[in-house]
Amino acid sequence: MQQPDPKEIMILNRIVVFSVIVLFIIIAAIYLLFVSGKTGQYSDFEDYIFGTYVRIRISSKVNPSTISKAIFNEMKRLEKKFDPYIESSIIYKLNHSEDWVEVDDETLSVIDLALKIARDTEGAFDPALGRLIQLWGFSKFTEREATGTFTVPSASEIAEAASKSGYQKIAIDYVNKKIKTNGAWIDLGGILKGYALKRAYQIAKEFDKSCHGFVETGGQIMILGPKYNKTHWVIGVRDPRGQPGENITIVYLSEGSIATSGDYERFFIVDNVRYHHILDPRTGYPANKAISATVIAGDPVIADAFSTAAFVLGEDRWLFTRTVFPKYGAEVLLVTPKKQLLRTDNFRIYEMSDR
């Protein structure tokens, strides 16, 4: 009998060891990706995006950390892509071009939707107020807040910026996939978090369609699925003049989204007057006919944009809000400057825990 060649044995041994390592890595990856997340147990994740904390509470058979990372990465992509003050962003390019600018499909559809909501809300929601937002200093809010350098612009500065603003100036060429801003500056601050939450929901469901929990960005929540897959999430609507944690009402949601726009989110005070970040496109000044507006809607983009619009329309144009908004799937709770609560007909349903 021929003795096996010791060199061959060594090579064989190495192949076996290598195969075992590869197999181990594959099994570990499958475990991490699909098995380690246990349904019924929630994991929490947090990151700082869009100038606010984004929180994810999720239960899934897929590793929750994998899903959360994918969501955070997507939100950071959107933040960069749509930030009007980053020179590489498409919004910066649109705002600083005098000509038609070619855009990708996603940009075209987000801007198209923002313009549609502007028309549906008679211009209360206006995605082309960038010049005014910058003039008021809300584009660099965190910086200004840290240095305390807020000033109220003069009436003529406001009139000048307002005359160069407004969604009617934005033109879309659907055939050649181009947009022209005609001097106005696009600012998607009133709709972007809603769009990011829509993407978050899609990503979570692509990983695991039966995952549940919620994603929260500042003043908005998107439900991924009922608590423990069987009961409503209990959500407090903040008292706009109370401390965080003090609520004006409680709602019970197992799907859809809830967004609140309030004058307490980003504001500064000069001579006892509060100036905040939601502007009335008709005047160029902060809207002052409401102190908070909450919208519940299936679609988080609707919840976000319509809450901003309901705030602007305020108590004076409440009849328009309560008549028209539910047609777009938006149920509204408005808090007037005197802290009166106004509700669309179906909002109360969400305040019932036993439905």
Which residues contact ligand AMP (rule: CB under 6 A)?
125-127, 129, 133, 138, 187, 189-190, 261, 265, 277-279, 281, 304, 307-308, 312
Of residues 63 and 261, the one with the C-beta less far from Mg ion = 261
Q: Which residue has the tokens 């991490």?
A: 32
Using the rule CB under 5 A, give the single segment among 166-174, 253-261, 266-274, 323-331 that binds Mg ion.
253-261
Q: Using alpha carbons, list the distances in angstroms from residue 199 to 5, 195, 223, 258, 299.
A: 60, 6, 12, 16, 11
The binding track of 260-279 with respect to Mg ion, each residue x by CB under 5 A or -, is -x------------------
Q: Does residue 280 bind Mg ion (CB under 5 A)? A: no
Q: Does residue 165 bind Mg ion (CB under 5 A)? A: no
Shortest CB 144 distance to ligand AMP, Å: 13
d(CA 259, CA 304): 6
Q: Does residue 307 bind Mg ion (CB under 5 A)? A: yes
d(CA 259, CA 244): 16
Report the residue closest to Mg ion, judged by CB.
Answer: 308
Of 337, 344, 292, the residue nearest 318 (C-alpha): 344
Q: How far out from the chain centre does Cα 240 lie?
A: 20
Q: Pick out residues in 175-204 that bind Mg ion (CB under 5 A).
A: 190
At residue 341, the 3 state secondary structure works out as: strand
d(CA 213, CA 282): 39
Q: Which residue has the tokens 């897929």?
A: 62
Shortest CB 191 distance to Mg ion, Å: 7
Q: Does residue 308 bind Mg ion (CB under 5 A)? A: yes
The listed partner (Mg ion, ligand AMP, none) that binds 189, CB under 5 to 8 Å by sort, is: ligand AMP
Shortest CB 87 distance to Mg ion, Å: 26
The listed partner (ligand AMP, Mg ion, none) that binds 187, CB under 5 to 8 Å by sort, is: ligand AMP
Of 240, 254, 224, the residue nearest 355 (C-alpha): 254
3-state helix, strand, coil in the chain (%, to 5): 40, 25, 35
Amino acid at 69: K
Shortest CB 61 distance to ligand AMP, Å: 33
Of residues 38 and 140, the one with the C-beta less far from ligand AMP = 140
Residues that bind Mg ion (CB under 5 A): 190, 261, 304, 307-308
